[in-house]
Amino acid sequence: MLFKCAAGVAGRVGRCAIVVLAFGPACAGLAFGQSIAPKKETRDAGSCTGVISAIGDTLAVSKFGFFGNEESKVPIDTWRIDDLVFSRISAVLGSHSNLKRVSVSKGAFAVLEGDHNPLYNSTDDVKAILGRIATTTRCDRYIVVMKTTVNFKNSQRLDGLGILSQGDGYSAWAEFTINLYDGQNFSLLGKHPAVTGKKNFLGVDVKPYRKVDQTWWPAGATPTPAARDGFRSLVMESLEATVPKLLND
């Protein structure tokens, strides 16, 4: 299954060879081996793909009520979600992909989570962020997993991983995108929102969403074991369904 150049890279035919990620040894050799000449710049040995994940720092907690709404963010670093992201992407792409984990400082993508006007374009901010992050690991391309936002009619929102309490119960979300960037100029080569691999009755991809029970709701500022295990499962399911779509759409 090869990366479809026309749809995902918008004409960058010359670079298609480096993003032909495959699920079998023969294709993997083509994508990350013989077809790529070493670059003159100082880079990691061979042709590498950096993996940056920034979705596992906080859990967005929102409560919609008759007397008002409440929002907060609970730290979930101990869930090691970003470690899970790297391990699952590695498992999907296989050992021939030469993936490099790129460390991210806490809050590196915080500017994207702020309140912006409806015309806000994150392109320049993302390029600046990636330029700072990629100084220690220079790869030919980067897979970047970033939070996205769910907006509700009453101006409430959930960023990334979140849980919502309202009159009819509890809901859990994992809103993120998997993005592919050029390692030279950080132009966007392709992106795909997180999906579960399932489709609704209209044939539309189902996003990572679950109706859950009260055991998922944080006790004060402390997330529960049920939420930890549930969100890890939801993220893993989403990665396994979304990474192939990014590379083949």
- Report the share of the chain in percent with pLDDT over 70: 78
What's the number of domains the chain is made of? 1
How far apart CA 71 and CA 150 sit, in angstroms, is: 13
Say if CB 145 and CB 54 are below 8 A apart.
Answer: yes
Encode 2-45 in three state secondary structure.
Answer: CCCHHHHCCCCHHHHHHHCCCCCHHHHHHHHHHCCCCCCCCCCC
Say if CB 133 and CB 102 are below 8 A apart.
Answer: yes
Domain that holds residue 46: 5-248
Q: What is the pLDDT of residue 248?
A: 78
Quote the pTM value. 0.77
pLDDT, tens only, 113-137? 877 887 888 899 999 999 999 888 8
Q: Is the pLDDT of residue 81 over 50?
A: yes
pLDDT, tens only, 44-76? 445 899 999 999 999 999 887 666 677 889 999
Say if CB 189 and CB 12 are below 8 A apart.
Answer: yes
- CA 65 from chain centre, in angstroms, equals 30
Q: What is the pLDDT of residue 183?
A: 93
Q: What is the pLDDT of residue 15?
A: 35
Phi and psi angles of residue 142, each rounded to the nearest 5 degrees, phi first:
-135, 130
Instruction: Count the residues in the chain.
Output: 249
